[in-house]
Amino acid sequence: MAVTIDPAARNLIMGGVRFTKDELVQYVRKVNPSFKEEIASAFVTVGDRYGVRGDIALCQSIHETNWFRFGGDVKPEQNNFAGIGATGGVPGNTFKTVEEGVTAQIQHLYAYASTAALPVGEQVVDPRFTLVKRGSALNWEDLAGKWAVPGYNKAQYASLDAALKAGDTYGQNIIKLYLSLIEMATSHGPLVVLDAGHGGSDPGAQGYGIVEKNKALSIALKVRDQLLSRFKVRVKMTRDTDVFIPLLERASLANDWKADYFVSLHHNAAGGKGFESYVYKGSRTQESGKRQDAVHSAIMTYLSSVGVNDRGKKEANFAVIRETKMPGILIENLFVDNASDAMLLNNAAVIDKLAAAIATGIGQAMSLVAMPVTDPPPVTPPTPPTTPPNAGYPEGTPQWKIDAVEWLYEQGLLTDASWKKKIDEPLPLWAEAAIIKRLFNQLKE
């Protein structure tokens, strides 16, 4: 996705998160379907704690990890999503959990963009936090030459300034990804709100080891993933964890989001068997009813193949479909207290196919545009700084040694090119003192 930026623009690192976890998951999964939503959740929550723009930080990680597919020195199991401590041939730091890895990245950004103390209750987990000159990079565009050295393609541009003017530096390429995220979120089809019934202190119906709140959420999450992978559509959920949300608040969320369709997922109980769907009373002949026909038919096309009874398309005065301002449907996916229905609900393969059928029905009801199957857009991960072979180093010098010494020159800590010829020799005391003095002066600035 080609995005043009203003080379003179500057975007603050500090600020609020604009996008939800679901929107971030949708964005990454268009390229990497195996992306873990736990990672997106951490960027939103940790970014919010620090006042760092976590959604743009996720774009930084996309740039660093090639859409979280890795493939370089850093491995997925390191939970290091920004190459912290990584140099040519050196894999960098490892973090115990996803949240710890994201926190280290957010803290590193916080160190560059702020001079304030850590938020109350937070502990430093970024091993390079104290090495950063606090407040030295307020904007994402300022990270070139600091977080990433040199921060631009030296083979293409004569200087960092030239790369900045061309809009092709480390930070600017992160912003390009963020702008493509904005494009996707604002032009990627209508909005479906999925409402997993009950939750938290309200378990819903129970039977044969099934708790309605849990099963409804499990299916809703699968429907979300099906919709996002198959259609040009946006999806939000009234809940994606085990929390209680009052009925009227669920409807208010959908109204505030200006949803195009509301789908509430439930399970039945109390002496019946089979599948049924509901729209608000009097709306069978309206748009809700037309969409109900499509959703109900798609679901029963699958469920009838496994022997499920069709209890019909009905109307009711349920609050969530009464108070929503857009077309809506409430589906009752089998009876948890019926032995044959419960056996199906406890079958993982059946649940997967049911979720796919629900997504198919929603797609047909809304005439959603199918997502084309395309190769991932080319994204080049950050290239470690390289030095031409004639740069004055002894023949056969490993690239990682060259990169390390070149960094000293980039930072102005080494100035005499003759040191390149002595790369494996110890520095005399006076040279070490000169480097320390230069570093000390930089830290004071």
Active site residues: 332
Q: Residue 215 and residue 210: Cα distance in Å, rounded? A: 7
CA 392, CA 421: separation in Å to the nearest integer?
6
* 72 within 8 A of 10, measured Cβ to Cβ: no
Burial grade of 177 (CB within 10 A; 0-12, 13-18, 19 or more): buried
DSSP character at residue 427:
P
Provide the Cα torsion 294, 297, 303, 306; round to 10°: -140
Contact 381, 64 (CB under 8 A): yes
The backbone torsions φ and ψ at residue 266, rounded to the nearest 5 degrees and listed phi first, read -140, 175
Burial of 153 (0-12, 13-18, 19+ CB in 10 A): middle
Query: Could you please report the per-residue DSSP string of 258-310?
Result: T-SEEEEEEEE-SS--SEEEEEETT-TTSHHHHHHHHHHHHHHHHHGGGT--E
Strand 261-268 with 191-196, pairing: parallel
Please work out, in degrees rounded to the nearest 5, the angle formed at the alpha carbon of residue 143 by the alpha carbons of 8 and 38: 115
**Does residue 335 sit in helix, strand or coil?**
strand
Residue in the structure block whose two tokens are 């479906």: 192
Distance, CA of 411 to CA of 422 (rounded, Å): 19
Q: Are 10 and 141 in contact (CB under 8 A)?
A: yes
Convert 178-200 to b/e letters by CB count within 10 Å (16 or more is b): bbbbeebbeebbbbbbbbbbbbe
Rounded to whole angstroms, the Cα distance separating 345 from 352 reads 10
Residue 301, number of CB atoms within 10 A of its CB = 12
